[in-house]
Chain A
Amino acid sequence: MSNRLASGGRVDRSSRLRFTFDGVEYTGLRGDTLASALLANGVLAVGPSLYRERPRGIVTAGVDDPHALVQLERPFSEPMQLATTVELCEGLAATGLRGRGRLDEASDEARYDKTYLHTDVLVVGAGPAGLAAALVAGRSGARVVLVDDQPELGGSLLGGREEIDGRPALAWVDEVRAELDAQPETRVLTRATAIGYHDQNYLLVAERRPDRPGGGGRLWHFRARHVVLATGAHERPLVFAGNDRPGVMAAAAVRSYLNRYAVLPGGRAVVFTTGDSAYATALELAAAGAEVPALVDTRPEPPVALVEAARAAGIEVLAGSVVVGTEGGARLTGVRVRALTADDELTGPVREVACDLLAVSGGWSPAVHLWSMARGTVRYDEALAAFVPDRAAQHVRACGSGRGRYDLAGCLTEGLTAGAEAATAAGFPVTAPATPPCTGDETPAPPRPVWLVPGEEGDPSGWRDHFVDAQRDATVADVHRAIRAGMRSVEHIKRYTTIGTAHDQGKSCGVAAIGVIARLLGAGSPGEVGTTTFRGPYVPVSFALLAGRERGPLFDPVRTTAVHPWHVRRGAVFENVGQWHRPRYYPRPGEDMDAAVLRECRAAREGVAMMDASTLGKIDVIGPDAGAFLDRLYTNGFAKLPVGSARYGVMCRADGMVFDDGVTVRLAPDHYYLTTTTGNAAAVLDWMEEWLQTEWPELRVHCTSVTEQWSTVAVVGPRSREVLAALAPDLDVSNEGFPFMTVRDAVLANGVPARICRISFSGELAYEINVASWYGLAVWEAVFAYGAHAGITPYGTETMHVLRAEKGYPIVGQDTDGTVTPQDLGMAWIVARHKDFVGKRSFGRADSARADRRHLVGLLPVDRAELLPEGTQLVAPGADLAAVPVDSLGHVTSSYRSAALDRTFALALVRGGRDRIGDTVLAPLPDGRTVAATVTEPVLFDPKGARRDG
């Protein structure tokens, strides 16, 4: 069965396209949407409804369709597409959906891009108003962008038969397009939907690019000086019994199928309208060969000219009447019509009219979505029976049917004016030309909105087939129940009934729902109820489009050190530390992490081991006031640090909580070299700049990040001195010649100049060899070679953590969480008494002096093999684990197996922990067991520090 008309339309009859829907093969034409091709093949029904499984059919010809959800399978997989917006292509395959799609498990390999563009004027919508606006704005010389969601320009003109300047309107569109293309600063985007309107005229536009293999698209980020919204209007449904039956369609959509796609959606059609616009649908249906037995108009006295035109076409006009019900199963077979009193009461006998198509026009709702997203206000216009743009909140103008202007001449005039005003305001003065003469849409007579067609029986509590939001199967009875439950706000009723929350976010049903609510509340008009909040995106967009190229390896920058290739060759297992990719451990064949880490730890404690420490944050602090500056930021003193010496420091926020720690070296009287926690480097630099710029601009200090400029190789263990002696033959490596916490410049045996610090993050004799990063790999390999005879063992972050935890050295951000003071860490010794620094005042607050603050302590599980998971909560013996909340003493912050201790151990923050040393605490585990552990001092290995000198 073909419903394709013999002539007309914007489809290419020479280009036949094969496609399948629900597994059945059909053919359509280039220029079809999936919906128009299905209608041409006599297929109206799409998927059934979400909850009630009622049959549902195609309703509209655009983004506002409430039913036509499909799953695309070819040419690419995409869920939750609308048949009314999917362009037909050869080999397309789709299936109807019952309200819910399924994501393809395979990755979307199409190419998605982003483009950022500043423009003087951005025009949204390329119907008559938008085209006129872009045309005149472009003539000013301003940079203009025109975006439209359709494949071709024209908007409503594509579906109509208007004339402009004495010619078919689409000839005028072609002329405008040619002029726009010739303007050097104008850009026209089709298949491009404006999805969001954000602060300061920042708009997002989603462009589909079906011409590219595999689909794909581009997300445009526009910043516009002035915006013209010519977004058009959506035709509203009417709420009556059985209004969801397949065969009930929007009147303007029927017209669009006739004129744009040359498809006759039904053979015998009734039109049901509250205003003028649907008369064109009735007349054009009749002209296309359909029987049109009746036009049902809610108005008792429709405009005489329209009534006469209808009668001349053989159409009976049933004025002052409404459709009260539909007949049929999965396809409409007839409607029931009754008269309506001035008080919206049914009256008179039932008139049954057989038909397979009901074209409904419940009036028009300007598409104010973008306007509202831009924080513009809307007001209810009683004469238009619609919410229209009111006060703008940004540099934006609305024009055309998007602000309730429905005649073609008016749309053109408003567009020309808006375009001229926008360009002029953007600094490109231009005046609007005269509006060309046009025919077609006239200024319509006032509509008679009927927000709720009464049911033939019962009251609203039982009207379960009066669909308000068909996508949600939400009915008048549901709205009634919400109001009976006490709700009055449209926002509450929306959430209670879920009206407006399905895939179209209320584009079709939103205002109709407000009308129903107003009726059931007894409000005078929908204006008293108001709208819900409009939020982006205007149409659903895929995460693939939003992500663009920022997926997989490009999702976030990956930082690697100069030594990285060696780590990879060595078979290191990596972990992410911030953006850094760091070796976690280097397993030997057959080793798991525990075995590898125990081996690496033993090497560091008993022989010699090496680690790539290049990721440490490094900042050069240079200037005559550098020492004074560091004195103000660190809790301990640096101004008196001798040149050539190193010192460990802690810095706090103004609230006294530990922010970062690290070792700082003084290289010259005015030059300090500061190291930070790996993940905190940028934050520390920001922190230093903040104080320098905003509080102490008088200090003569400059800070420079040199993290990337230096590679650092840590050489650790009792035999590290002999490795260094071989590596740096001219350096006096004796304990007296190169004491702990000092720095030496040396030239290595391979000729590389190095800055060597004798510092230790393990408690062992250790050195950190710093070289320019382009020597990093060569120096790492040299250390490995010179240490080979001693069995030098590379180790990763996991071993580093175990070694430092055995010594009770905290990691900021792991053993602290922004609520921990230096005193809580047992580091009162690092807090200077005789100078001020950021945060010092906070130590005098009562809260900082509480005896029951959480302290960093060690924990030894009673079972030496029990490894407490990090994050485990701790409770006192006898605590009531059924209480809500359980009285927590604190939690485990670090937990490892120790080779040196031959057992497991942990660090923990424990309430009044230093007063509990020797006590037992309990750790309830996720597996249901509760295990005991003994509180200890945090330093569990070599508490006297005897090992650091080798």
Chain B
Amino acid sequence: MLLIACPWCGERDETEFHYGGQAHVAHPADPHALTDAEWGAYLFVRDNPKGEFAERWVHSAGCRRWFNVVRHTVTHDISAVYPAGQPRPNEQGEGTA
């Protein structure tokens, strides 16, 4: 079971959270401008890396806030936790889009 540091509540057990899939997949500003293939990719296609993965979690049993986590999919090491809407930090800790 993971120990996740909610940006608002601190470290809590994974059972308090729900998983929200890949982070930084924005809803297209104008879906109707997309081709069917592009819309289908937004709906159904997600990365599945062996390694670090930016993903969304929501503290359902706590503050109900969504936030982002960078988790290694093999080791489960969590290298970054940051609020929704912020860019993913790079290794130097600076924001990147």
A: residues with CB less than 8 A from B are 198-200, 202, 223, 375, 393, 654-655, 686, 689-690, 693-695, 697, 836, 838, 840-842, 844-846
Q: Give the Cβ gap from B72 to chain A, nearest Cβ, in Å.
A: 11
Interchain CB contact (< 8 A) of A393 among B64, B66, B75: B75
| B39 interface residue per 8 A CB criterion | yes
Tell me if A695 and B27 are in contact (CB < 8 A).
Answer: yes
Cα A489 to Cα B84 in complex, Å, equals 46
Report B30 CB to chain A, min CB distance, Å: 8
Is B46 on the interface with A (CB-CB < 8 A)?
no
Please, which residues of chain B bring their CB within 8 A of the CB of A375? Answer: 75
Interface centre among A199, A200, A838 (most CB of B within 10 A): A200
A200:B76 contact, CB within 8 angstroms = yes
Which single residue of chain A is at the shortest CB-CB distance from B31? A841
Complex contact A198–B84 (CB within 8 A): no
Neighbouring A residues of B27 by C-beta, 8 Å = 654, 695, 838
Q: Which A residues are in CB contact (< 8 Å) with B34?
A: 841
**Bound form: Cα–Cα A655–B32 in Å:** 13
29 contacts between A and B (CB under 8 A): A198-B1, A199-B1, A199-B2, A199-B76, A200-B76, A202-B3, A223-B3, A654-B43, A655-B43, A655-B44, A689-B64, A690-B20, A690-B58, A690-B66, A694-B56, A694-B85, A695-B26, A697-B84, A697-B85, A836-B31, A840-B31, A840-B32, A841-B34, A842-B39, A844-B36, A845-B36, A845-B39, A845-B40, A846-B36
Q: Tell me the complex Cα distance, A200–B72, Å.
A: 12
Complex interface: chain A residues within 8 A of B65 (CB): 693
B31-52 vs A, CB cutoff 8 Å, 1 = contact: the mask equals 1101010011011100000000
Inter-chain contact B39/A689, CB cutoff 8 Å: no
Contacts A200-B3, A841-B31 given: A689-B36 contact, CB under 8 Å? no
Say yes or no: A694 contacts B66, CB within 8 Å.
Answer: yes
With A and B bound together, what is the CA distance between A686 and B51 in angstroms?
28
A369 to nearest B CB, angstroms?
19
Picked from B1, B20, B26, B60, the residue with its CB within 8 Å of the CB of A202 is B1
Q: Is the CB of B18 within 8 A of A686?
A: yes
- Chain B residues whose CB sits within 8 angstroms of the CB of A842 once the complex forms: 39, 43
State whether B84 touches A693 (Cβ < 8 A): yes
Contacts across chains A and B counted by CB atoms under 8 Å: 55
CB closest chain-B residue, reference A393: B75
Q: Is the CB of B36 within 8 A of A200?
A: no
Tell me, rounded to whole Å, the shortest Cβ–Cβ distance linking A506 to chain B: 25
Contact assessment for A200 and B2 in the assembled complex, using a CB-CB cutoff below 8 Å: yes
Say how far B24's CB is from chain A's closest CB, in angstroms: 10
CB neighbors of A among B39-97 (8 A): 39-40, 42-44, 56, 58, 60, 64-66, 75-76, 84-85
- Closest-CB distance, B27 to chain A (whole angstroms): 5
Partner of A694, one of B31, B40, B64, B84: B84
A52 to chain B, nearest CB (A): 42
From residue A171, how far is it (CB to closest CB) to chain B in Å? Answer: 41
- In the complex, A845→B36 CA distance in Å? 6
| Complex Cα spacing A842 to B27, Å | 13
Q: Report the Cα distance A654→B34, complex, angstroms.
A: 14
Q: Does A686 lie within 8 Å of B60, measured CB to CB?
A: yes
**Chain B residue at minimum C-beta to C-beta distance from A685:** B64
Report Cα–Cα, A706/B31, bound state, in Å: 33
A695, B58: Cα distance in complex, Å: 14
Q: Measured between C-beta atoms, what is the minimum distance from B36 to chain A in Å? A: 5
Residues from chain A with Cβ under 8 Å of B66 in the complex? 689-690, 693-694
Which A residue sits closest to B32, measured CB to CB? A841
Kindly state the separation between the CA atoms of A374 and B24 in the bound complex, as whole angstroms: 31
Residue ID in chain A nearest B78 by CB atoms: A200
Give B56 Cβ to nearest chain A Cβ, in Å.
Answer: 7
Closest approach, in angstroms, between the C-beta of B43 and any C-beta of chain A? 5
A698 to chain B, nearest CB (A): 10
CA distance A235 to B84 in the complex (A): 54
Contacts of A836 in B (CB 8 A): 31-32
A700 → chain B closest CB, angstroms: 16
Please tell me which one of the listed residues A654, A689, A697, A838 contacts residue B58 in the complex, with CB atoms under 8 A apart. Answer: A689
Q: Collect the chain B residues with CB atoms within 8 Å of residue A846's CB.
A: 36
Question: In the complex, how many angstroms separate the beta carbon of A567 from the nearest chain B beta carbon?
Answer: 29
Residues of A with C-beta under 8 A to B58 = 686, 689-690
How far in angstroms is the closest Cβ of chain A from B16? 13
Q: How far is the CA of A202 from the CA of B18 in the complex (A)?
A: 19
Q: Which residues of B contact A223 (CB under 8 A)?
A: 3
Taking the nearest CB of chain A, how far is it from the CB of B14, in angstroms?
9
